[in-house]
Amino acid sequence: MNMLIAEDDRIQRENLKKMLGEIDKSLIIYEAEDKDEALKISRENIIDIFYIDIVLKNSSGLDLSIEIRKIYKYEFSWIIFLTTHVEYITQAFKEVHCYDYILKPYDKKDLINMSKKIILRQGINTVIKRKYVVFNLGDGIFIKVYIDEIIFIEVYIRTCTVHTKRAKYEVKGLSLKQSLTLINSDYIIQCHKSFAVNINYIIKIEKSTIKSYKIFFENYEENVILSYKYKDVIMKSFKNNGVDILPLSNGGSDNGYN
């Protein structure tokens, strides 16, 4: 399981990490001291439990949590606040729907007991929620791909290329419509006659021509075309999600796509 500690005090962060590490040596614990670092880690990984300090460097834990909730995969994730400011907790429950809070200085027994309960419950939920699809690559080769690891899909001359965090896979004879039906995910959306994107990995949308845009992804070099036909659908998915929409760049081209 993956945990993220967002705490700007290094000593307190290390103490909390040490306590959590005693629960299970296999736990992967990420650390961040501010909002930007925490969001970067959250987008690049799948975090199961968040421990967030109410007061962060250059931000607040509430602001960070609100941004985390806007990321589709964390809409219902476990968030625990770390605080000495009890007066903020009511706001945290109302605005962020956090699970609980831990007062500083940390009580080791309370921290471990609370975390163990979440780990047990999260383990059950993960089995139920994490979905995958099996693609036939031909020559007797079948590959299992977790849907939440798909970045985008492109189809060219009846070859479907599935771009994932791990690798690219080519599936012959599969149309875009067929691939979307097979995947059956509400966060992988068609953005062009040849492309469909995972909205959770988009970092920027930039105007390319009068009738098209380019979509860029977090930590992935390739980009795709967003055509005018699908613009409203994609833009609606990102309402209030903080995606950058940039003006038309000089010398933009639609690369032959419509």
Q: Encode pLDDT of 156-174 as tens digits.
A: 988 999 999 989 999 999 9
Structural domains present in the chain = 2-129 (3.40.50.2300), 132-246 (2.40.50.1020)
Alpha-carbon gap, residue 255 to 252, rounded angstroms: 9
User: How many other β-carbons are positioned within 10 Å of the β-carbon of residue 33?
Assistant: 18
Cβ atoms of residues 80 and 98 within 8 Å: yes
Is the per-residue pLDDT at 242 higher than 50? no
Alpha-carbon gap, residue 17 to 3, rounded angstroms: 9
Per-residue DSSP letter, 187: T
Looking at the chain, list the stretches that DSSP marks H as alpha helix, in order from N- to C-terminal side.
Answer: 10-21, 35-44, 61-70, 89-96, 108-129, 176-183, 228-237
Residue whose tokens read 């736990």: 27
> Across the chain, which distance is largest between two alpha carbons, in Å?
62
Alpha-carbon gap, residue 232 to 214, rounded angstroms: 14
Going by pLDDT thresholds of 50, 70 and 90, the confidence category of residue 81 is confident
Cβ atoms of residues 80 and 52 within 8 Å: yes
Going by pLDDT thresholds of 50, 70 and 90, the confidence category of residue 110 is confident
Q: How many CA atoms lie within 13 A of 258 on its CB side?
A: 1
Q: List the structure tokens of 22.
A: 């005693």
Q: List the structure tokens of 37.
A: 């670092």
The dihedral through the CA atoms of 109, 115, 118, 123 has a sign that is negative
- Of 190, 249, 234, 241, nearest to 69 by C-alpha is 241
Find the range with the poorest average confidence among 43-47, 62-66, 114-118, 237-241.
Answer: 237-241
Which residues have a Cβ under 8 Å from the Cβ of 139 and sit 6 or more positions away?
A: none
- The whole-number pLDDT of residue 220 equals 93
Alpha-carbon gap, residue 146 to 34, rounded angstroms: 30
pTM over cut 0.85: no
pLDDT tens-place string over residues 164-215: 998 999 999 999 999 999 998 888 999 999 999 998 889 889 988 878 899 9
Cβ atoms of residues 73 and 46 within 8 Å: yes
Higher local confidence (pLDDT), 4 or 102: 4
Higher local confidence (pLDDT), 215 or 103: 215
- Of 187, 251, 247, 199, nearest to 224 by C-alpha is 199
- The whole-number pLDDT of residue 153 equals 98
Q: Is 61 exposed, middle or buried (0-12, 13-18, 19+ CB in 10 A)?
A: buried
